[in-house]
Structure 1
Amino acid sequence: MIRLLPLLLIVLALPPVPAAAATTVCATSCDTLDPSRAQRETFPLPDKNINGRKVQLHVSEPDGMAWASIDLGTTGDAVWLDRSWDGGQTWEGLLGKAAIPSSWTGTRTLMYNVYDPVGHRRGVIRACGDANGVACTDWLYPNVCDEACDGSSQQNGDMQPVAPTTIYGRTVRLHTDANGMAWATIENNGPGDEVWLDRSWNEGASWPDGSSLGRTTSGRTAMFATRDPKAKLYGGVVRACGREASHANGSCTAWARPSPTRAGAAADALVYSYDAYQAWWPSSWWNSAATLTALIDYARQTGNHDYDWVVGRTFDVNKAVFPAGVKSSDPIEGDFISRAIDDSAWWGLAWIAAYDYTHDSRYLTEATTIANYVNDFWDTGTCGGGVWWNRERTYKNAVTSGLYLRLTAALHVDAPGDTVWGQRAVTAGNWYLNSGLINGNNQVNDGLTADCRNNGQTVWTYNQGLAIGGFDELYRATGDRRWLDAATRLGNAVGTGVLTESCEPNCDDNQKQFKGILVRYLAEVGYQPYLQTQANSLWANDRDPLNHLGLRWAGGAPNAVDWRTQASALEALTATPNPAGG
């Protein structure tokens, strides 16, 4: 073993080496985008001079991409990018390597993603050149910045999201603050005892660029950010670790996400599941529309603009045509339209919400296009009116009727001088009240029988919510108090205590999101004590240290947890009086 020591020291002293060949990264665009398509061009790092040649790193922050150039050169001088996913320890080298052609004095690479929000990786990147000698710029953005940057000492509160860990009589604690910053402390420590943070962007599966952050023997680390909006990484997790000086082994707390506010923490965990390249939450079409609406409601209620890019990105990508099996089991025919009339209408409501939030007219135009399509399936020949559930005209049900009512009334509210949508909304409201969908307990059953009677099927919470929201929007559109009275009657029928869906704990992927629709629209009518009960219960009983929120707001096992349950719970947290502050 002694004879091997010199060799070991030589190995440890070797410099970092390039990693394996790069795989293509797709964020909002894929690697090798032409720089002519960059949304912006900045030069965040000093140029690198190589024997009189100028090597520059160019960055487009809106795209999250970079490219390199070399100028004042001669034929054969080369330029490329290096990209690292572990803070510069190893890297993907020679990305986009380009050489100066004959008679030119410069050239550039194509654009490469700096970050990988889809794969939950944070990269650093640099420009390199070869002009009778190789040199590189510094790495771009080695520190993470949110409300504050890595290394900050400005503390804004002290929360301890998980239990401490102990090791040889020492206590190691994880701390977070209201800015989402994190630090670690070790108590009862002696000389040489160490404490540090680990930070992971993929929920603790790995932490190549976040190992041993702030490692110190002082008893407290510096503070480190847990979100990187520039990289579209909102779901960082951290843990505190420590080691007693005379032992090699250490001990760490559980991983945790900070929760500066309830709704903000829920939104961060929700956006973690958003696929920035495909621009939806895989893999459910109508659920993605409802989830986008939940995120827009959160942004509107709190004034948080971190996720505004998600709205535009979802619109731009998904307005296209998709064959069956890509976004839905049905083909998507453009303008968010498919044979499923209710699915189309969910997207209509999402773009109404986007218009109300941004005042961008393209969203109102899209909502109108969808509403015109849905209106084609209003049919007075069966049951005196109502909208068919699907293009085959097999069923008139509550979800499609509620969506149509809300959509038509909202278009009237958003279109000054409108006479068409307002009349359609009044017609839809009168039909709904007299259709039989509402039973004797003021609860909405699933739909109508072939002979136009209440079918007595399940009272789903989202049907109750859509009816409440539809009648409330019709009240805003007309000022007629009877519509508000109808919404209130339905709201009063919801019940008391913690809200449950009849399918719990075995709800399918559609049903997981139903409760959020109800609380969204209840909040418009009032019911704040009831809504606060929901928020308090799910936060106390239905949340893990990573701020995942499940199906069962009162807690219990088994309990399904995914982005659908997360979106539903976000609606409950947003519906409280002060979602931005608690």
Structure 2
Amino acid sequence: MDDPQHRGKLLFALAAFLMFCLGKFMPIKTCQNDVINAVTQPNCSEAYPSDIHAYRACMSAFALQHNWYPSPIAGLFSYPVWNGFDGFWQDGAALETLANFMWYGNNTMYKSVITASIRDLWSLLVAYGPQPSYDDMGWYAISYLRIHEVLGPADDDPTSYNNFFGETIQIYNWIWEYGWDEYGECGGGFWFDQTLGSKQTVENAQMLFLAAKLHRITGNDSFANQTETIWKFIDDNNIINNVTFLVADGINLTTCGSDEVYGPSYNMGLMISALVEAGPVLNRTDEFLNIAHSIAFAAIKLLTKNGTLVEYCTPTCDDDAKLFKGIFLRNLRYLLDYMDQNPRRGDVFRKGEYISYLRNNSDTVWKSDRCEPLNEKCDVMFTDGPSLNDVTVGPVFSKDFRGPYNISNPITQTAVLDLFVSSINSETKCAGKDCGFDPPQPTPKPLTCKNNPCPPNQPCCAYSDYYTCCEPSQKCVAGYCV
């Protein structure tokens, strides 16, 4: 019944509640759960009552999915539709973060987002014309293999058509066929992209990891042989400094040695996991584990300021580098996982140091770099247009773990989510009805270049009925960004 007097009482009561809820005595998470009654969200307190890091991951994953997925301009058909990721590669790398939240959080939250992300090799290649770099494709292979691992054969049957495991193999074989230097300059190695202008650490560490992990899963000797070939290139070119154990960004093609550029944290993280996987394949487990630990401690020493992980380029990091810390931390957690499954004498101290490091960073971010849009002014970026959801929710985070908060986007959110997920206790279980929280996704808007969907200074490039947004330095030529 539309009774004006009754409606007035309700409005007065709501106003009084909001004033109280925004007061200093009311916990933020309670305000959020009550105020945004139009938003369906998981009860993270119920799901993780005894693990604060899992609770933080639960809240942050909801904010990532609700605020930035899917993109309102999701006419682009060939890769996942996140609003505001800087580039093609980040769309792929974020999938590993969500898969890890399912794994460590013992839940099936956002399973539809993960399973809907599968794309065949051709779709990925045409997404980023004239073609993606080899490391761009490597992020999809790594995420797809992790998704296969998390879903298991029941949900990702290797014998079925268009499954994550099969697509991993397709991507891996494509990188090997076109990316490996068959002429053997500096002993081979993978090129960064089709211009054959550089050989970076990232694509070589990715492929070492993939080759070794695929051998572990399949037992196929060809993967073992390729693991040995890739490692020889990495070792011969001194990508890992044998004194400091820092990982270089690439090699100098003139000297065929390290380029002596040290700093990007994701190189350290990728190499740690690659060594963990490659050790058993090459019968060098203890040796490679010791190197992995040395890299981990060297990276932490280099990149830690007052106990907090700080990317080497801070405060001028570009959008790519804003995700690097998260990638380092997820790979540090993989090292911890291996230590749990394969305990060695003397590893107790190392394990304790890693766990303490992850959780101290988690506490710092939550205290110093968090903003709650419902209760305070947060500068939240929606690069590809407003979110499809009317209400922007938190917690949201910015690029420096130390704070103070300034501006957030899905890149910084994913890096922090990686931290929270990596900090979850290995014994944590999800409880309550929301462990399978998987909200329906709003339908993307079917736009074209005529709708001016791209960010300023990024040319819209139409190809058939689809489009992509080129980089500011590119032009659209015949449907491709060049």
Name the structure 1 match of 2:69.
274
Q: Larger strand proportion, structure 1 or 2?
A: 1
Name the structure 2 match of 1:566.
413
1:519 and 2:366 aligned: no
Change beyond 3 A, Cα 1:172–1:536:
closer
Q: 2:314 aligns with which of 504, 508, 516?
A: 504
**Does the 8 Å CA contact 1:161/1:175 hold for their aligned counterparts?**
no
Secondary structure, aligned partner of 1:456: coil
**Does the 8 Å CA contact 1:269/1:548 hold for their aligned counterparts?**
yes
1:356 and 2:142 aligned: no
Secondary structure, aligned partner of 2:33: strand
1:430 and 2:232 aligned: yes
1:549 and 2:359 aligned: no
**Does the 8 Å CA contact 1:550/1:561 hold for their aligned counterparts?**
yes
**Does the 8 Å CA contact 1:399/1:446 hold for their aligned counterparts?**
yes
Name the structure 1 match of 2:265.
461
Q: Larger helix proportion, structure 1 or 2?
A: 2
1:293 and 2:96 aligned: yes
Change beyond 3 A, Cα 1:434–1:530:
farther
Name the structure 2 match of 1:529.
356
**Does the 8 Å CA contact 2:121/2:170 hold for their aligned counterparts?**
no
> For residues 553 and 172 of structure 1, what CA distance do their matches in structure 2 show?
26
> Structure 2: which 5+ runs fail to align?
6-16, 45-51, 337-353, 373-393, 431-482
Q: 2:33 aligns with which of 182, 186, 190?
A: 182
> For residues 476 and 262 of structure 1, what CA distance do their matches in structure 2 show?
35
Equivalent runs, 1:324-403 vs 2, <5 Å? 327-328=127-128, 330-331=129-130, 338-359=131-152, 360=156, 361=158, 362-376=163-177, 377-379=179-181, 381-403=184-206
> For residues 565 and 175 of structure 1, what CA distance do their matches in structure 2 show?
21
Name the structure 2 match of 1:447.
250
Change beyond 3 A, Cα 1:499–1:199:
same
Secondary structure, aligned partner of 2:371: coil
Change beyond 3 A, Cα 1:173–1:528:
closer
Q: How far apart are residue 263 of structure 1 and its match?
A: 1.0
**Does the 8 Å CA contact 1:301/1:574 hold for their aligned counterparts?**
yes
> For residues 356 and 259 of structure 1, what CA distance do their matches in structure 2 show?
23
CA deviation map 1:171-211 (0-9, x unaligned): 9946756xx9834xxxxxxxxxxxxx45454xxxxxxxxxx
Change beyond 3 A, Cα 1:346–1:227:
same
Task: Judge which range, 529-538 or 340-349, deviates more.
Answer: 529-538
Name the structure 2 match of 1:130.
none
Equivalent runs, 1:468-507 vs 2, <5 Å? 468-478=272-282, 480-494=285-299, 495=301, 496=304, 497-507=307-317
> For residues 379 and 260 of structure 1, what CA distance do their matches in structure 2 show?
43
**Does the 8 Å CA contact 1:161/1:174 hold for their aligned counterparts?**
no
CA deviation map 1:75-126 (0-9, x unaligned): xxxxxxxxxxxxxxxxxxxxxxxxxxxxxxxxxxxxxxxxxxxxxxxxxxxx
CA deviation map 1:351-379 (0-9, x unaligned): 11111111212211111111111112222
CA deviation map 1:380-433 (0-9, x unaligned): 511112111011211011111111111111111121x31011221122123212
> For residues 97 and 331 of structure 2, what CA distance do their matches in structure 1 show?
11
Q: 2:59 aligns with which of 257, 262, 265?
A: 265
Secondary structure, aligned partner of 1:182: helix
Secondary structure, aligned partner of 1:315: coil
Change beyond 3 A, Cα 1:386–1:200:
same
The answer to which structure, 1 or 2, has the higher relative contact order (CA under 8 A, 6+ apart) is 2
Secondary structure, aligned partner of 1:491: helix
Name the structure 2 match of 1:407.
210
TM-score (norm 1): 0.54
Report the structure number with the largest CA radius of gyration: 1
> For residues 462 and 513 of structure 1, what CA distance do their matches in structure 2 show?
8
Q: Aligned-pair RMSD on alpha carbons? A: 3.3
Q: How far apart are residue 511 of structure 1 and its match?
A: 0.6
**Does the 8 Å CA contact 1:378/1:386 hold for their aligned counterparts?**
yes
**Does the 8 Å CA contact 1:528/1:577 hold for their aligned counterparts?**
no
**Does the 8 Å CA contact 1:403/1:466 hold for their aligned counterparts?**
yes
> For residues 281 and 112 of structure 2, what CA distance do their matches in structure 1 show?
30
Secondary structure, aligned partner of 1:314: coil
Secondary structure, aligned partner of 1:303: coil
Name the structure 1 match of 2:446.
none
CA deviation map 1:12-46 (0-9, x unaligned): 89xxxxxxxxxxxxxxxxxxxxxxxxxxxxxxxxx
> For residues 332 and 26 of structure 2, what CA distance do their matches in structure 1 show?
40
Change beyond 3 A, Cα 1:395–1:544:
same
Change beyond 3 A, Cα 1:165–1:356:
closer
User: How many residues are matched?
Assistant: 345
Q: Which amino acid aligns with 2:297?
A: N
**Does the 8 Å CA contact 1:261/1:581 hold for their aligned counterparts?**
no
Secondary structure, aligned partner of 2:118: helix
1:539 and 2:342 aligned: no
CA deviation map 1:431-476 (0-9, x unaligned): 2123122234211121112212222234200011111111111125
Secondary structure, aligned partner of 1:264: helix
Question: What fraction of aligned residue pairs are identical, expressed as a percent?
Answer: 24
> For residues 236 and 259 of structure 2, what CA distance do their matches in structure 1 show?
15
Q: Which amino acid aligns with 1:292?
A: L
Q: Which amino acid aligns with 1:493?
A: A
Change beyond 3 A, Cα 1:319–1:423:
closer
TM-score (norm 2): 0.65
Secondary structure, aligned partner of 2:259: coil
> For residues 533 and 162 of structure 1, what CA distance do their matches in structure 2 show?
33
Q: How far apart are residue 304 of structure 1 and its match?
A: 1.5
Q: How far apart are residue 506 of structure 1 and its match?
A: 2.3
Q: Which amino acid aligns with 1:551?
A: K
Secondary structure, aligned partner of 1:555: coil
> For residues 168 and 202 of structure 2, what CA distance do their matches in structure 1 show?
18
Name the structure 2 match of 1:249.
none
